[in-house]
């Protein structure tokens, strides 16, 4: 695997972890009557891993003004920051190895 491929894979793994963290917190914040809305939250990461999405196709979610999603993002900030720091450290170590080796 080339260095660039390794960096892309790291980015893909990071974005996948981030959207799953947000999805989990969003589901925790979703009010439940039948559970349909809570179960409907899904994630997607673009092929280049530049963007990740958390969303639902349930029509009545918009009547909650996406409050569960906004609250889920807020609840996820600390975990996302920790993930970014861990990946940043991993990437720096790889850069040092490339420079020295």
Consecutive 10-residue averages of pLDDT for the chain (101 residues): 84 95 96 93 94 93 82 95 91 86 73
Neighbouring residues of 48: CB distance < 8 A, sequence distance ≥ 6: 8
CB–CB of 54/26 below 8 Å? yes
pTM of this prediction?
Answer: 0.86
Q: Can you tell me the distance from the alpha carbon of 81 to that of 73, in angstroms, rounded to the nearest whole number?
A: 12
- The ranges assigned to domains in the chain are 3-100
């Amino acid at each position: 695997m080339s260095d660039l491929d390794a960096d892309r894979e790291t980015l893909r793994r990071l974005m996948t972890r981030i959207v799953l963290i947000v999805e989990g917190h969003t589901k925790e914040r979703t009010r439940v009557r039948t559970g349909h809305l809570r179960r409907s939250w899904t994630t997607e990461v673009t092929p280049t891993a530049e963007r990740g999405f958390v969303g639902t196709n349930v029509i009545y979610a918009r009547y909650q003004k996406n409050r569960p999603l906004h609250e889920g993002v807020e609840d996820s900030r600390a975990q996302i920051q920790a993930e970014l720091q861990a990946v940043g450290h991993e990437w720096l170590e790889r850069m040092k190895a490339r420079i020295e080796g």
